[in-house]
A and B are shown apart, each in its own frame.
Chain A
Amino acid sequence: MSPPSLAANASNQRLDWLYIAIVLLGILTVGRLFYIQIIQHGDFARLAANEHQRKYEVPADRGQIYLLDGDTKVPLALNQQLKLLYADPSIVTNKRRTAEQLAKITGQPAEKYVNAMEKGKEYALLETKINAKTADKIKALRLRGIGFKDQTFRTYPEGSLASQVLGFVNADGKGQYGVEGFLNKELGGQPGHLNAKTDTNGVPIASSDNLDRAPVRGTNVVLTIDRSVQAQAEKFLAEGVINVKAESGSVIVMDPNTGAVKAMANYPTFDPNDYSKVTDYRVFSNAIVSDNFEPGSVFKLFTVAAGLDSHKITPNSTYNDTGCEKIDNYNVCNAENHKLGPNTTMTVVLRDSLNTGVMYILKLMGSDPATITKASKQALHRYITQRFRFGQRTGIEQAGEAAGFVNPTTTSNVTYANMSFGQGISVTTLQTATAISAIANGGKLYKPYLVEKYITADGSEVAARPKVVNPHVISTQAAKDLGIMMEVVVHRGSGYRAYTPGYKIAGKTGTAQIANPNGPGYLPDKNIGTFAGFAPVEDPKFVVMVRINKPNTPGFAEVTTVPVFANLTRWLLQYYAVPPSG
């Protein structure tokens, strides 16, 4: 066998190297593939999925809100599918011409669109709330760089009616203030999800791999508010506030036998359809539930109620009205230097709103009738906080409810003396009206409520039931006596403007000083007028409370609030077809 030639050896070597190179290349390729397909599998799979798979959140229709007109449901908040008009300025060829063409259809100035397009680089919002008809006209123009986006807007067909009770839905679809804010979760429903393969334009392709969860519409809500009562309350309140040149005002109408709120009106008000135009955000709040204030003499009702219920006084009990009382070295006097002397009855205390009279009751409630003691403070505190539940939120379906503030029994005697006639204590209009409802109905404290019923997405209805918080706030006899004493206030006292021949109407005025927000003491020439009452006394159908803030006319609450109460009460007596008391 002859040895291989040198050339053959070299050729074999080259083949070997080639073989090794190919094997190495193969190993490298397999290695790289292993790295990409096994180790980086997750990343690339995600990238691929992003190309042809999309996740959509399908928004749920927001629940609608209704109020009542008699027994008929009336829509108060509805949803509207509208469009948002936008431009991509980088594509728009002639901005001026495009703006002019759009302006012709929308009726807006062309300059507005030109400015918007010059500000934006790739996105310029031109218009919101474009309806289908207008959108079709714009689409027909086939304008380059102009597009639409579907959006659901909240619409309030009743305009500003009950706006503070309602609140509004902001641009992010979130409920703010009022019922919209408080029941945002229930109204909002549950959004659906669509995880689908899409075509090159992003349009979902039907496939068995798609994951679809339908949205669940929000719960519809029917409010206890009566449209006619609400409209009249707003009308009389606006007239009242304007007449006395006041800063603002509120009115609440409640059914004392259930706790259902029939009207909540505030002035000034706003239109929730145009909430973005509001400059003073305070107008969004429902002052009836969110404003703490010192109630003034209207609060004497609860001191007298405590005295009657604890059998310390009767309507005919007497005391010596000296005009002023010295407490903790402070002289606490009646308003306008009233001094009625001995044998002043408790009925007169309420009729003439005597501060010394309620301080006398406070003293009687303790261990020593000659002075304010810890026991008397504890007794009053118990009635105010545990019976009438001042200082606690009522839990009404409204966002931003305030709790009020009741001073603890450790505070000074003079503070409690002031509290007995409604100064040095803060309450809300709702708390006061709720407590007066308990007096009106014979002693049951109901939880105030605004939602008559919930209608869920499957059509089932859940009706609200009146909830008794405390069945015996005061005795039936004490409540009856107090009702008669309040009737005297309207018949012969500060509430005389509300006197309506033939009807027994109960009420109590209050003119409270306003605490100085910048320091100690009270504002010298500002007050809050209140008037709360119910009718008819023998079988109360409604409780009304009026509050007027900072009136700019001379006089007490009898001038500022009683006319509003009187107008509304007379109208309500007719509306509820209440026959005269006889």
Chain B
Amino acid sequence: MITATMAMRRNQNLYRQKAELKLGPVSSGFVLIAITAVLALLYLNAVTKTAVFGYELSQMQQARNEAVAANQELEIEAARLTSIQQIQKSQAVAKLVPTTQVTYVK
């Protein structure tokens, strides 16, 4: 009985080359360094982005503080203008006369 293996053996001229990728210790080192470098760059990029956001946040906070301060200024100015001293100084109040006789309707 002739098996397939025996047939193969008979055709000894058949040749199959197997490609093998082998990494030596130096190549592995380079690859490791390259991966580390890429990861480091990615990390730095992320950190820098966060820092940039931090600065943007800081600027926005500054702008907010300025808006709050401006709002406070206006609130204070409004309070000053409507204070009892200002009301008493106003010309409209100066023209008012005190009530002398008040009649109450029961």
Contact A78/B106 with A157-B83, A161-B85 known, Cβ cut-off 8 Å: no
Q: In the complex, which of the residues B70, B79, B104 contacts A579, with contact meaning CB atoms closer than 8 Å?
A: B104
Q: A80-B72, A131-B73, A574-B102 are in contact. Are A159 and B58 (CB under 8 A)?
A: no
Contact with B along A141-167 (1 / 0, CB 8 A): 000000000100001011101000000
Measured CA separation A377–B73 after assembly (Å): 60
- B58 CB contacts on chain A under 8 angstroms: 203-204
* Count of chain B residues with a beta carbon within 8 Å of a chain A beta carbon: 27
**B37 in contact (CB, < 8 A):** no
Task: Check A204–B54 contact: CB distance below 8 A.
Answer: yes
Chain B residues with CB below 8 A from A74, complex form = 79, 82
Question: Is A81 close to B, CB under 8 A?
Answer: yes
The contact of B76 among A78, A159, A205, by CB within 8 Å, is A78
Asked whether, in the complex, the Cβ of A75 is within 8 Å of the Cβ of B79, the reply is yes
Q: Are B83 and A80 in contact (CB under 8 A)?
A: no
Within 8 A of A (CB), among B29-84: 50-51, 53-55, 57-58, 65-66, 68-70, 72-73, 75-76, 79-80, 82-84
Say whether B83 contacts A161, CB under 8 Å.
yes
Q: Does B99 interact with chain A (Cβ within 8 Å)?
A: yes
When the two chains form their complex, are residues A207 and B76 in contact, meaning their CB atoms are under 8 A apart? no
A150 CB to nearest chain B CB (Å): 8
When C-beta atoms are compared, the residue in chain A nearest to B48 turns out to be A205
A159 touches B79 (CB 8 A): no
Q: Tell me if B54 and A205 are in contact (CB < 8 A).
A: yes
- The residue of chain A having its C-beta at the shortest distance from the C-beta of B104 within the complex is A579
Interface residues in A, total, Cβ within 8 A: 27
Known: A158-B84, A206-B53, A227-B84. Is A80-B102 also a contact (CB below 8 A)? no
Contacts of B80 in A (CB 8 A): 157
Which of A75, A158, A199, A206 has its CB near the most chain B CB atoms (within 10 A)? A206
Within 198-226 of A, Cβ neighbours of B (below 8 Å) are at 199, 203-207
List of B residues within 8 angstroms of A580 by Cβ: 104
Cα-based distance from A155 to B83 in the complex (angstroms): 13
A29 interfacial by beta-carbon distance below 8 Å: no
By the criterion CB–CB under 8 Å, are B72 and A159 in contact? no
Q: Which of B53, B68, B75, B82 is close to A78, meaning CB atoms less than 8 Å apart?
A: B75
- Is A171 in contact with chain B by the CB < 8 A criterion? no
Residues from chain B with a CB closer than 8 A to the CB of A516 are none
Inter-chain CA distance A75–B73, complex, in Å, is 13
Q: Is the CB of A206 within 8 A of B72?
A: no
Chain B CB within 8 A of A283 CB: no
Q: Once the chains bind, are B72 and A207 in contact (CB under 8 Å)?
A: no
Asked if B102 and A207 sit within 8 Å, CB to CB, the answer is: no
Residue in A132, A159, A579 whose beta carbon sits within 8 Å of that of B83 in the complex: A159
CB distance from A576 to the nearest CB of B (A): 12
A80 pairs with B85, CB closer than 8 A: no
- Binary per-residue interface labels of chain A (487-507) against chain B in the complex, 1 for a CB within 8 Å, 0 otherwise: 000000000000000000000
Chain B residues with Cβ under 8 A from A204's Cβ? 54, 58
Partner of A206 from B50, B70, B73, B99 at Cβ < 8 Å: B50
Q: A158–B78 Cα gap in the complex (Å)?
A: 11
Could you tell me the distance between the alpha carbons of A467 and B70 in the complex, rounded to whole angstroms?
Answer: 41
Q: How far is the CB of A165 from chain B (nearest CB, A)?
A: 14
Chain A residue contacts of B55, Cβ below 8 A: 203, 205
Q: Which residue of B lies closest to A158 (CB)?
A: B83
Residues of B within 8 A of A80 (CB): 69, 72-73, 76
**When A75-B79, A155-B76, A574-B102 are in contact, do A206 and B69 touch as well, CB less than 8 Å?**
no
| Residue numbers in B under 8 Å from A150 (CB-CB) | 65
| A208 and chain B: residue at smallest CB distance | B50
Tell me whether B68 and A81 are in contact (CB under 8 A): yes
Say yes or no for A469: interface residue by CB 8 A criterion: no
Q: Which of B66, B68, B85, B104 is in CB contact (< 8 Å) with A159?
A: B85
Q: Is the CB of A78 within 8 A of B79?
A: yes
Interface string of A461-492 (1 = CB under 8 A from B): 00000000000000000000000000000000
A205→B51 CA distance, assembly (Å): 5
Question: For the complex, is A231 an interface residue (Cβ under 8 Å from B)?
Answer: yes
**Residue in contact with B84 in the complex, picked from A81, A161, A205, A579, CB distance below 8 Å:** A161
Which residues of chain B are near A159, meaning CB under 8 Å? 83, 85
Q: Is the beta-carbon distance between A81 and B69 smaller than 8 angstroms?
A: yes
Cβ–Cβ < 8 Å partners of B84 in chain A: 158, 161, 227-228, 231
A199-B67 Cα distance, complex, nearest whole Å: 26
B54–A579 contact, CB under 8 A? no
Partner of B72, one of A79, A161, A231, A577: A79
Q: Which residues of A contact B76 (CB under 8 A)?
A: 78, 80, 155, 157
Chain B residue nearest in CB terms to A231? B84
Q: Are B73 and A207 in contact (CB under 8 A)?
A: no
Once the chains bind, are A579 and B75 in contact (CB under 8 Å)?
no
Q: Which residues of chain B are within 8 angstroms of A131 by Cβ–Cβ distance?
A: 73
Q: Report A178-213 CB contacts with B as 1/0, cut-off 8 Å.
A: 000000000000000000000100011111000000
Alpha-carbon distance A74/B84, docked complex (angstroms): 10
Q: Is the CB of A206 within 8 A of B104?
A: no
Which single residue of chain B is at the shortest CB-CB distance from A579?
A: B104
B62 to chain A, nearest CB (A): 10
Q: Contact partner of B79 among A132, A157, A203, A231, CB < 8 A?
A: A157
Question: Are A132 and B70 also in contact (CB < 8 A) when A81-B65, A203-B55, A574-B102 are?
Answer: yes
Please, how many angstroms separate the alpha-carbon atoms of A300 and B88 in the complex? 40
A60-84 at interface with B (beta carbon < 8 Å): 74-75, 78-81
Residues of A within 8 A of B (CB): 74-75, 78-81, 131-132, 150, 155, 157-159, 161, 199, 203-207, 227-228, 231, 574, 577, 579-580
Given contacts A157-B76, A157-B79, A231-B88, 16 further A-B contacts (CB under 8 A): A74-B82, A79-B72, A80-B73, A81-B69, A131-B73, A132-B69, A132-B70, A132-B73, A161-B83, A161-B84, A203-B55, A203-B58, A207-B54, A574-B99, A579-B104, A579-B106
User: Top 9 nearest A-B pairs by Cβ distance?
Assistant: A206-B54, A157-B79, A81-B69, A579-B104, A75-B79, A157-B80, A231-B84, A205-B51, A205-B54
A sample of 11 inter-chain contacts (CB < 8 A) reads A78-B72, A80-B76, A81-B65, A159-B83, A161-B84, A161-B85, A205-B51, A206-B53, A206-B57, A231-B88, A574-B99
